[in-house]
C-alpha cells in the first residue's frame, strides 16, 4: 500500500502528469469549441492572423506594416514577429483553422511545465502539486486566453513571465541566465512587462543581500545580450531608432548593460561582508542605469504611449477595458482583480504556518510572493496584467486548497462540511466573486460600458464576409469592425484600433462623431469608396452619444446625405453599406 502511494506521488510530480492534464484540457476545449465557432475571437486576433498571412505571403520578416489599413502606405504595427512564428508554423503544417485552434493550446503546455517547476522548487506536497496543475480554469482570465482561436500576444507574454519566475527560483547560475533570456523575450513581445522585469532584478538583489548569492549580474547580462539579439533580429533599424515608445529600444538595452556592469562590480566593493554594505552597494545600480535610461529614452522611459492624440485618449484609449485601472472597470471585474489578493496572501500565510519555509525554501517563497504581489498591484492599474498575476498566484491557491480542503472534509456534519468545502474553494479563486457581483454591473455603469449606450439600433452579428461580393475598395468603418473585414474580404480600411496609425484613427473618429459635412470632407480626403455601419457595433453606439445630429446617428437612422447611395442588398438589416458618389 505504501509503495502504491509512493508511486502515485512520484507520478503526480512527474512530467507525465503535466502532459496528462494538458491533453485532457486540450480534448475538452477542442470538444466544446464547435459550439463557439472557428473564427478569431476579437479584433486583435484577426489582426494577428493578418500579420501571419502577410508573412506567409512573402512580406519581409522585418516589415510589420499593415498595408490595407490607411493604404497605400499603411503603418507599422508595434507587435513582435516572435508571436507570429508558432502560428505561421502551425498554419503551414495544419492549415489556417487548425493552426489557430492549436497554437493557444500549445502555449498552455510550457505554462504548466513552469508551474510544475515552481512547485517542485518550493517543495509542494503531492496534493498541492495536483491542485496546481488543474485549477487554472478557476481563474477567470486564463481559460479564455488559452482557448482555440485566441491568437493575440497576451498568452505568450504571460507564459514567458511565468517562465521567468520559475527560473528565478533556481539557485544556480544557469537559472539566472535562463531567467534573463525569458525576460528578454517577454519584453520583446510587450514593453509593458518592464516594471515586473525590474522587480525580478530587485528580487535577485534581495537574494544577494540576504544570502550573498551573486546571481543578479548573470540575470542582467543575459537580459542585455538576449534583448539586443531579439530586438535587432525582429525589428528594422528604422523602427528601433525611430520615434516609437511602444517597443524595446536600444536605450532600454543600453541601460540593462550599464546595470549589468555595475552589478558585476558590486561584490568587489568594500563592506560586502555585511548586509548593510551589500544593500548600499546595490543602490549604485539604479543610480547608474536610470539617468542613462532617461537621457537616451526621454519621454519613452516613463510612458510607452507618450504622444497619444487627445481625441484618441477621449474616444478610444479611455474605453479599452483591458488597459484601464480597476476603478474604471465594471463591478465584477474590479471585484475579481481585488479578490485575487486573497489566495495570494492566504496561500503564503498558510505555507509559512505549515512549515514550508524550512530547508532553505523561505527565500524562494518570498521572491515568488513579492513578484506575484507586484503583478497583482500592476493589474489594479492595467487590467490585462492580471493574466500574469493570476498565473503567478496559482501556486498559492494550490497550497490553500491542499491545506484547507482536508480539514473541511474532515468535519463530521454534512452541512458544515459542505459549507467549509465551498468556503475553501471560494477563498482560493476569484471566479465566484466575479460571478456573484456580475448583477451589480448595470447598477454602477462605468465609461467602458458606454459602448452602445445609445438606444439599441439592432441586435445580432454583422456578417462581414458578405462584403466580399462588392468590388474591392477603401472602407470607412468603425475601428473595432475593421480587422474582421480585412480578414474576411479583399477590401481596405481607413483605420483600425492601433495607435501608430493615429492620424487615420483620429479622422475616423471625427468622421463618425462630427457633423455630416465634416464627415464628407474626411471621406473625400481619404478617397473612400464605401461607408459601412454595423448597427450592433458597440463603438458605433458610443460615437452616437457625441451629438444627436452627427454622422453616426445619420447612418443609424438611415437618413443619409444624398452623396451616399445605399448598396443593393445592404439597404436594411444590421449591416448597412453606402457607396460614396
pLDDT digits (tens, 9 = 90+) for 201-249: 999 999 999 887 899 999 999 999 999 999 999 998 888 888 788 899 9
What is the C-alpha to C-alpha distance for residues 429 and 140, in angstroms, rounded to an integer? 9
Domain contains 435: no
Question: What pLDDT is attached to residue 1?
Answer: 45
Domain boundary among the residues 357, 374, 403 is at 403
Question: What's the rounded mean pLDDT across residues 276-290?
Answer: 91
Domain contains 430: no
Question: What pLDDT is attached to residue 409?
Answer: 87
Q: Are 245 and 268 in contact (CB under 8 A)?
A: no
15 and 155: one domain?
Answer: yes
Q: Which three cell numbers stand for residue 489?
A: 474580404
What is the C-alpha to C-alpha distance for residues 61 and 65, in angstroms, rounded to an integer? 10
Domain contains 456: no
The more confident residue out of 189 and 458 is 189
What is the C-alpha to C-alpha distance for residues 435 and 437, in angstroms, rounded to an integer? 6
Question: What's the rounded mean pLDDT across residues 303-332?
Answer: 83
Q: Pairing between strand 530-534 and 575-580?
A: antiparallel
- Digit-coded pLDDT (tens) for 397-419: 999 999 999 888 889 888 888 98
293 and 151: one domain?
Answer: yes
Domain span at 530: 464-580
Cβ-in-10-Å burial (0-12, 13-18, 19+) of 447 comes to middle
Question: For the chain, first and last CA: distance in Å?
Answer: 84
Domain boundary among the residues 360, 388, 403 is at 403
Cβ-in-10-Å burial (0-12, 13-18, 19+) of 420 comes to middle
Domain contains 409: no
476 and 393: one domain?
Answer: no
393 and 493: one domain?
Answer: no
510 and 369: one domain?
Answer: no
Question: What pLDDT is attached to residue 2?
Answer: 47
Res 254 pLDDT > 50: yes
Domain contains 540: yes
Number of domains in the chain: 2
Res 59 pLDDT > 70: yes
Q: Are 263 and 293 in contact (CB under 8 A)?
A: no
pLDDT band at 304 (very low <50, low <70, confident <90, very high): low
pLDDT band at 296 (very low <50, low <70, confident <90, very high): confident
395 and 494: one domain?
Answer: no
260 and 399: one domain?
Answer: yes
Convert 542-575 to b/e letters by CB count within 10 Å (16 or more is b): bbbbbeeebbbbbbbeeebeeebeebeebeeebb
363 and 510: one domain?
Answer: no
228 and 157: one domain?
Answer: yes
Domain contains 59: no
Q: Which three cell numbers stand for residue 513?
A: 462623431
- Digit-coded pLDDT (tens) for 504-542: 999 999 999 999 999 999 999 999 999 999 998 888 988
- Digit-coded pLDDT (tens) for 451-481: 545 555 777 889 999 999 999 999 999 999 9
Res 184 pLDDT > 60: yes
Q: Are 117 and 226 in contact (CB under 8 A)?
A: no
Question: What pLDDT is attached to residue 447?
Answer: 66
Question: What's the rounded mean pLDDT across residues 171-179?
Answer: 95
249 and 345: one domain?
Answer: yes
Domain boundary among the residues 377, 403, 429 is at 403
Domain contains 414: no
What is the C-alpha to C-alpha distance for residues 375 and 192, in angstroms, rounded to an integer? 11
The more confident residue out of 140 and 239 is 140
Domain contains 70: no
Look over the chain and give the mean of its residue pLDDT values, rounded to a whole number.
90
User: Which of 132, 100, 101, 103 lies closest to 116, judged by CA?
Assistant: 132
What is the C-alpha to C-alpha distance for residues 445 and 561, in angstroms, rounded to an integer? 34
Cis check for the bond before 557: say yes or no (omega within 30 of 0): no
390 and 479: one domain?
Answer: no
352 and 222: one domain?
Answer: yes
Count, residues in the chain: 581
Amino acid at each position: 500500500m505504501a509503495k502504491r502511494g509512493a508511486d502515485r506521488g512520484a507520478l503526480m510530480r512527474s512530467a507525465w502528469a503535466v502532459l496528462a492534464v494538458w491533453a485532457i484540457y486540450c480534448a475538452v476545449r477542442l470538444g466544446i469549441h464547435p459550439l463557439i465557432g472557428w473564427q478569431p475571437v476579437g479584433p486583435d486576433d484577426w489582426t494577428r492572423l493578418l500579420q501571419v498571412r502577410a508573412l506567409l505571403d512573402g512580406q519581409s520578416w522585418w516589415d510589420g506594416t499593415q498595408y490595407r489599413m490607411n493604404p497605400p502606405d499603411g503603418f507599422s504595427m508595434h507587435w513582435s514577429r516572435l508571436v507570429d512564428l508558432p502560428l505561421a508554423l502551425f498554419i503551414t503544417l495544419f492549415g489556417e483553422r487548425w493552426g489557430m485552434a492549436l497554437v493557444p493550446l500549445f502555449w498552455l503546455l510550457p505554462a504548466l511545465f513552469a508551474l510544475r517547476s515552481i512547485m517542485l522548487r518550493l517543495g509542494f506536497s503531492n496534493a498541492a502539486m495536483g491542485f496546481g496543475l488543474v485549477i487554472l480554469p478557476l481563474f477567470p482570465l486564463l481559460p479564455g486566453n488559452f482557448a482555440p482561436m485566441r491568437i493575440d500576444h497576451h498568452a505568450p507574454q504571460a507564459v514567458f513571465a511565468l517562465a521567468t519566475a520559475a527560473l528565478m527560483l533556481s539557485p544556480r547560475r544557469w537559472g539566472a541566465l535562463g531567467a534573463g533570456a525569458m525576460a528578454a523575450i517577454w519584453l520583446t513581445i510587450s514593453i509593458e512587462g518592464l516594471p515586473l522585469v525590474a522587480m525580478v532584478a530587485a528580487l535577485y538583489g534581495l537574494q544577494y543581500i540576504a544570502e550573498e548569492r551573486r546571481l543578479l549580474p548573470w540575470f542582467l547580462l543575459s537580459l542585455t545580450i538576449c534583448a539586443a539579439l531579439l530586438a535587432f533580429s525582429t525589428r528594422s533599424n528604422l523602427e528601433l531608432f525611430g520615434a516609437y515608445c511602444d517597443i524595446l529600444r536600444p536605450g532600454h538595452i543600453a541601460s540593462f548593460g550599464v546595470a549589468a556592469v555595475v552589478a558585476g562590480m558590486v561584490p568587489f566593493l568594500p563592506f560586502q561582508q555585511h548586509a548593510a554594505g551589500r544593500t548600499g552597494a546595490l543602490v549604485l545600480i539604479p543610480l547608474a542605469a536610470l539617468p542613462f535610461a532617461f537621457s537616451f529614452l526621454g519621454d519613452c522611459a516613463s510612458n510607452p504611449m507618450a504622444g497619444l492624440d487627445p481625441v484618441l485618449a477621449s474616444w478610444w484609449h479611455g474605453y479599452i477595458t483591458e488597459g484601464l485601472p480597476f476603478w474604471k472597470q465594471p463591478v465584477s471585474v474590479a471585484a475579481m482583480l481585488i479578490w485575487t489578493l486573497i489566495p495570494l496572501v492566504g496561500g503564503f500565510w498558510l505555507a509559512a504556518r505549515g512549515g514550508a519555509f524550512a530547508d532553505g525554501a523561505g527565500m524562494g517563497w518570498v521572491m515568488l510572493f513579492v513578484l506575484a504581489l507586484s503583478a497583482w498591484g500592476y493589474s489594479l492599474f492595467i487590467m490585462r496584467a492580471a493574466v500574469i498575476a493570476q498565473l503567478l498566484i496559482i501556486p498559492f491557491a494550490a497550497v490553500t486548497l491542499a491545506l484547507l480542503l482536508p480539514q473541511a472534509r474532515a468535519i463530521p456534519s454534512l452541512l458544515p462540511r459542505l459549507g467549509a468545502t465551498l468556503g475553501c474553494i471560494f477563498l482560493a479563486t476569484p471566479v465566484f466573486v466575479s460571478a456573484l457581483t456580475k448583477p451589480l454591473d448595470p447598477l454602477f455603469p462605468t465609461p467602458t460600458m458606454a459602448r452602445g449606450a445609445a438606444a439599441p439600433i439592432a441586435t445580432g452579428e454583422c456578417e462581414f464576409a458578405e462584403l466580399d461580393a462588392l468590388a474591392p475598395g477603401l472602407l470607412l468603418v468603425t475601428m473595432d469592425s475593421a480587422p474582421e473585414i480585412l480578414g474576411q474580404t479583399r477590401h481596405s480600411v481607413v483605420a483600425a484600433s492601433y495607435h501608430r496609425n493615429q492620424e487615420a484613427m483620429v479622422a475616423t473618429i471625427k468622421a463618425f462623431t462630427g457633423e455630416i459635412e465634416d464627415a464628407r470632407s474626411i471621406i473625400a480626403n481619404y478617397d473612400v469608396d464605401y461607408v459601412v455601419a454595423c448597427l450592433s457595433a458597440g463603438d458605433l453606439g458610443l460615437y452616437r452619444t457625441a451629438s444627436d445630429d452627427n454622422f453616426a446617428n445619420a447612418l443609424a437612422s438611415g437618413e443619409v446625405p444624398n452623396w451616399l447611395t445605399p448598396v443593393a442588398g445592404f439597404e436594411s438589416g444590421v449591416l448597412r453599406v453606402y457607396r460614396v458618389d
